Amino acid sequence: MLSRQKILIVDDDNNIAELISLYLTKECYDTMIVNDGEEALSAFDTYSPSLILLDLMLPGIDGYQVCREIRSKSNVPIIMLSAKGEIFDKVLGLELGADDYIMKPFDSKELVARVKAVLRRYQTPQKEDTSQKVEVKLVEFPDLSVNLSNYSVYYNSKPVEMPPKELELLYFLASSPNQVFTREQLLDHIWGYEYVGDTRTVDVHVKRIREKINESPYWNLSTVWGIGYKFEVNE
């Protein structure tokens, strides 16, 4: 029997936290509630959650710092919750490593859908019947290998840790070398039409990819000013 996925809910408003827990419990998730940043960091180590729902405005250590500290040691998916609607707050959250951002007040169905969508991206691909031919989704260039089948990236023969969305974005661009994609096209292909987000989401993820893999003499993740991005390959 498969164990239930665990959701750590971090919110100083216990009424909201209990309501979120109720929604998720009905969907057969296991939940744990904590009410401040220090508790969240402690619970992360002991509870080992599958996903974290993290409020930004917490007493003591705020949600941004909690996200920063967790990201320094883990790629566990994080969805930020906030009553703040400024683009700056969303971009800052994504830059710190959050996978999604939900505004309060939120619809219960949207919250559950976002949780399911993020968890799907982090699930290890299931093993297929060995009697069937398995298509390996792999792109390779000098110094770089991106494998979407097992979600691995190798740069200069060394493994690089990337959350699923970063890896999927890199794979998509590298699969069509020298082709220019707009930010809107990338949002649609990688995040899906149902994603309620800003095109800066793409910029943030490209920035994080560039921090992990530098350009080489053979290829480069290039900005096409005023349009979007392309994976440029030198002939």
Whether residue 108 is predicted with pLDDT greater than 90 in this model: the reply is no
> Tell me, what's the pLDDT at 38?
92
For residue range 11-26, list pLDDT tens digits in order. Answer: 999 999 999 999 999 9
Residue entry with tokens 């039409």: 193
> At the topology level of CATH, where does 138-233 sit?
Arc Repressor Mutant, subunit A (1.10.10)
Question: Does pTM surpass 0.75?
Answer: no
How confident is residue 88, by pLDDT bands cut at 50, 70 and 90? low
| CB atoms near residue 128 (< 10 Å) | 11
- Most distant CA pair in the chain: distance in Å? 59
Mean pLDDT confidence for 98-105:
84
**Chain-centroid distance, C-alpha 17:** 22
For residue range 200-219, list pLDDT tens digits in order. Answer: 888 889 999 999 998 788 89
| Best CATH choice for the domain 6-122 from the list 3.90.1640.30, 3.30.360.10, 3.40.50.2300, 2.160.10.10 | 3.40.50.2300
For the CA atoms of 65, 206, 167, 157, what is the dihedral angle to 10 degrees? Answer: -100
CA distance 28 to 5: 8
Q: Where are the domains of the chain?
A: 6-122, 138-233
> Tell me, what's the pLDDT at 42?
93
In the structure encoding, which two tokens stand for residue 32, read together?
């744990």
Least confident interval from 102-116, 155-169, 183-197: 183-197
> Tell me, what's the pLDDT at 197?
58
